[in-house]
Chain A
Amino acid sequence: AQSVTQPDIHITVSEGASLELRCNYSYGATPYLFWYVQSPGQGLQLLLKYFSGDTLVQGIKGFEAEFKRSQSSFNLRKPSVHWSDAAEYFCAVGGPYTGTASKLTFGTGTRLQVTL
Chain B
Amino acid sequence: GAGVSQTPSNKVTEKGKYVELRCDPISGHTALYWYRQSLGQGPEFLIYFQGTGAADDSGLPNDRFFAVRPEGSVSTLKIQRTERGDSAMYLCASSLSPGNSPLHFGNGTRLTVT
Contacts and interface: CB of A to CB of B under 8 A. Distances in A.
Interface of A: 4, 32, 34, 36, 41-46, 49, 51, 90, 92, 99-109
Interface string B95-108: 10011111111111
Interface of B: 4, 31, 33, 40-45, 48, 55-56, 91, 93, 95, 98-108, 110
A90 B42 contact: yes
Closest 5 CB pairs of A and B: A106-B42, A43-B105, A100-B98, A44-B105, A101-B100
Contacts of B110: 41
Nearest to A44: B105
A101 B41 CA distance: 21
Most chain B CB atoms below 10 A, which of A41, A49, A51, A102: A102
B98 A102 contact: yes
Given A43-B105, A106-B43, A100 B99 contact: yes
B103 A104 contact: yes
B55 A43 contact: no
6 contacts: A41-B110, A43-B4, A43-B108, A100-B98, A102-B95, A107-B42
B44 A106 contact: yes
Interface centre among A34, A100, A106 (most CB of B within 10 A): A100
